[in-house]
Structure 1
Amino acid sequence: MITFIVRRLLTGLVLLAAITTLGFTLLYLGGGDIARKILGENADEQTVALKAQELGLDRPVFAQYGDWVVNALGGDLGASWFSGQPVAAAILSRLAVTLSLVTGAVVLIAIISVTLGVLAATKREWIDRVAQVIALLGFAIPNFLFAVALVLLFALTLGWFDPTGYVQFTTSPSGWAKTVTLPVVALALGGIAAITQQVRGSVIDALRNDYVRTLRSRGIPARRVILKHVLRNAAGPALAVLAVYFVGLMGGAVIVEQVFAIPGLGQVAVQATTQGDIPLVMGLLVATGIIVIVFNLLVDLAQGWLNPKVRLS
């Protein structure tokens, strides 16, 4: 098991290195005249040149990247070129907000997808048709359009939830729930559609296996067969899809947070990318990459527990 974990961590670190290298290069090539953006259009050329020199923008891109890597390995992600705030502080202050949305979406996806997928595979009839409709809507409607529809119906029309803003859980648990429910549902729709279909197909395939017929012939209740044996075999493919979709959830959170005016990483990411704030964007890449690596490691461990053959692959 330890070897399995080490292999997965090393793979994640290689991926993180590739992402940061590519991201830094693209930001450098497409950032434009960052020094002038910082100083404003009225700054003279000499002042702009001095600012670029101060930031190290006059140096080759790989020299700049090398300095960033050395500092990042030492725990220093630098400071924002525009606000002067330390990158780590800017990210940590908003990370919990985004993670609460993404974690809530993952939990909602898991509960609804497994329940609906199993019922669609075993009961068929109208439940299967409902699952197909949800899948169609989930694949067809983008997150931001679904978010807008939720705001119009449940916040502005019915008044059940707050349309925008965010309340800390420590301030008011009920207020927090009212501000995160709609964003979480908006984020989860696509995942529910994809993973419900995966669970449904995997359960149908598992039910056709000989061992299921053998268990049923021994008089074991169908519910126990499904929960203890069928789901164990069907969970692996669903977890794999969830691991892939988790990256989409992190990206979708950026847009959903804009719709609901939630002060998460989305606002920081949009602003930093628009301005060309390289230290802040790189910090966001590192934070997002680490979160994805940890989540995928947890998924791999879950798959290894469900199927020992995975640990040997």
Structure 2
Amino acid sequence: MVRLVLRRLAWTGPLLFVVSVLCFLLISLVPGDPARTVLGPLAPPEQVEALHRQMGLDRPLTVQYLSWLADAVHGDLGRSVSTGTAVAPLIASRLAPTVSLILLTTLTVGVVGTALGVLSAVRGGPLGRLVDVASVVGLAVPGFWLALVLITWLAVRWRLFPATGYVPFGESPVGWLRSLALPVTATSLAAVTAVAKQTRDAMLDVLSRDFVRVMQANGLSTRSIVYRHALRTAAVPVVALLGVISASLLGATVLIENIFGLPGLGSGAALAAAQHDIPVLQGAVVCYTLIVVAIGLLADLAQAWLDPRVGAR
């Protein structure tokens, strides 16, 4: 287990370096001028050039990146072009909504999807066919469309949940849950059906193995066989899928946070891209990379706990 953690952490530094280089190069290719964004389209060229020199944009890209990297190693991600505030505190202030959305969505997907998959595998029949149909429907329904439907019915018409905004957990746990209920529901649909399908297939495979027949012959109850033995074995591929889903949610947060007005990393990155705010966008990408590394590490640890052979590889 320790070797697994060290191996994953050893890749973190090179991964961050590669991602930051690619992000810096791609951002530099995007049309737009940060100095012109700050000063406005009618600013005289002399002021634009002066701001270029002040921001260091007149230097070669290699020098700009190395300067940013030297500061980033010491925790300084620069300052926002549009607001002038430090990027690191700005990213930290937007981290809680995004992490809350990812954690609640992953928990919802894991619990609901696993429960549906186990029930359909054990009972079979119409419930199994329903899971198959729901998996196709869930993948076909766009998340943004479902988000708009939820806002129309549950926020505007029935006023059960707020349509936009975010309430910090420390301010009100109930308000925190209500502010994330609709975003989590809109993000979870496709993932729940995918996990249910994966769980059902894995459970059917495990329940057909010889050790299950031996336990049945020895008189063990169906509940004990399913929940104490079969589910642990079937959970290994399910946990791997949950890790992939959690990482993919980072892309979905950009759209969902903008629809529901959540002040998270996704909406901040979208705003920074529109304003050509390179330091904020670069900091958001680095933060996203760290979250993906953390998710992958947690998924690997969970798989190693369920199956020690995973940690030995």
Scaled to the shorter chain, the TM-score interval is: over 0.9
Instruction: Confirm whether residue 133 of structure 1 aligns to residue 115 of structure 2.
Output: no
Q: 2:65 matched to which residue of 1?
A: 65
Quote the offset at 1:115 in angstroms: 0.3
Quote the offset at 1:312 in angstroms: 2.4
Work out whether residues 27 and 278 of structure 1, in 8 Å CA contact, stay in contact via their aligned partners in 2: yes
Q: 1:219 matched to which residue of 2?
A: 219
Amino acid at match of 1:188: S
Q: 1:17 matched to which residue of 2?
A: 17
Q: 1:238 matched to which residue of 2?
A: 238
Structure 1 unaligned spans of 5+: none
Quote the offset at 1:40 in angstroms: 1.0
For 1:183 and 1:20, the matched residues in 2 are separated by 29
Q: 1:121 matched to which residue of 2?
A: 121
Query: 1:144-183 to 2 correspondence within 5 Å?
Result: 144-183=144-183
For 2:160 and 2:109, the matched residues in 1 are separated by 22
Amino acid at match of 1:195: V
For 1:168 and 1:20, the matched residues in 2 are separated by 30
- Taking only aligned residues, the RMSD between alpha carbons, in angstroms, comes to 1.4
Instruction: Confirm whether residue 205 of structure 1 aligns to residue 217 of structure 2.
Output: no
Instruction: Confirm whether residue 81 of structure 1 aligns to residue 117 of structure 2.
Output: no
For 1:159 and 1:277, the matched residues in 2 are separated by 37
Deviations 1:228-271 (A, max 9, x none): 22111111111111111112211111211111112222221111
Q: Matched residue of 1:254: which SS? A: helix
Instruction: Confirm whether residue 254 of structure 1 aligns to residue 269 of structure 2.
Output: no
Work out whether residues 34 and 81 of structure 2, in 8 Å CA contact, stay in contact via their aligned partners in 1: no
For 2:246 and 2:13, the matched residues in 1 are separated by 18
Work out whether residues 104 and 184 of structure 1, in 8 Å CA contact, stay in contact via their aligned partners in 2: yes
For 2:303 and 2:133, the matched residues in 1 are separated by 29
Q: Matched residue of 1:189: which SS? A: helix
Amino acid at match of 1:15: L
Amino acid at match of 2:256: V
Quote the offset at 1:12 in angstroms: 3.1
Count the aligned residue pairs. 313
For 1:50 and 1:231, the matched residues in 2 are separated by 65
Q: Quote the sequence identity (%).
A: 38
For 1:213 and 1:17, the matched residues in 2 are separated by 51
Work out whether residues 254 and 267 of structure 2, in 8 Å CA contact, stay in contact via their aligned partners in 1: yes
Quote the offset at 1:31 in angstroms: 4.5
Amino acid at match of 2:102: V
Work out whether residues 78 and 86 of structure 1, in 8 Å CA contact, stay in contact via their aligned partners in 2: yes
For 1:182 and 1:134, the matched residues in 2 are separated by 20
Q: 1:292 matched to which residue of 2?
A: 292
For 2:238 and 2:14, the matched residues in 1 are separated by 25
For 1:86 and 1:31, the matched residues in 2 are separated by 24
Quote the offset at 1:97 in angstroms: 1.2
Q: 2:184 matched to which residue of 1?
A: 184
Q: 1:26 matched to which residue of 2?
A: 26
Work out whether residues 247 and 295 of structure 2, in 8 Å CA contact, stay in contact via their aligned partners in 1: no
For 2:205 and 2:219, the matched residues in 1 are separated by 21
Quote the offset at 1:127 in angstroms: 1.8
Work out whether residues 166 and 176 of structure 1, in 8 Å CA contact, stay in contact via their aligned partners in 2: yes
For 1:155 and 1:42, the matched residues in 2 are separated by 42
Structure 2 unaligned spans of 5+: none
Moved over 6 A (4+): none
> What TM-score, normalized by structure 2, do the two folds share?
0.96
For 1:124 and 1:141, the matched residues in 2 are separated by 25
Work out whether residues 102 and 187 of structure 1, in 8 Å CA contact, stay in contact via their aligned partners in 2: no
Between 221-230 and 126-135, the greater mean CA deviation after superposition = 126-135
Quote the offset at 1:156 in angstroms: 1.9
Amino acid at match of 1:172: S
For 1:142 and 1:199, the matched residues in 2 are separated by 23
Between 218-227 and 161-170, the greater mean CA deviation after superposition = 161-170
Q: Matched residue of 1:170: which SS? A: coil
Amino acid at match of 1:146: L
**Distance of aligned partners of 1:234 and 1:103 in 2 relative to their CA distance in 1, 3 Å threshold:** same
For 1:54 and 1:256, the matched residues in 2 are separated by 36
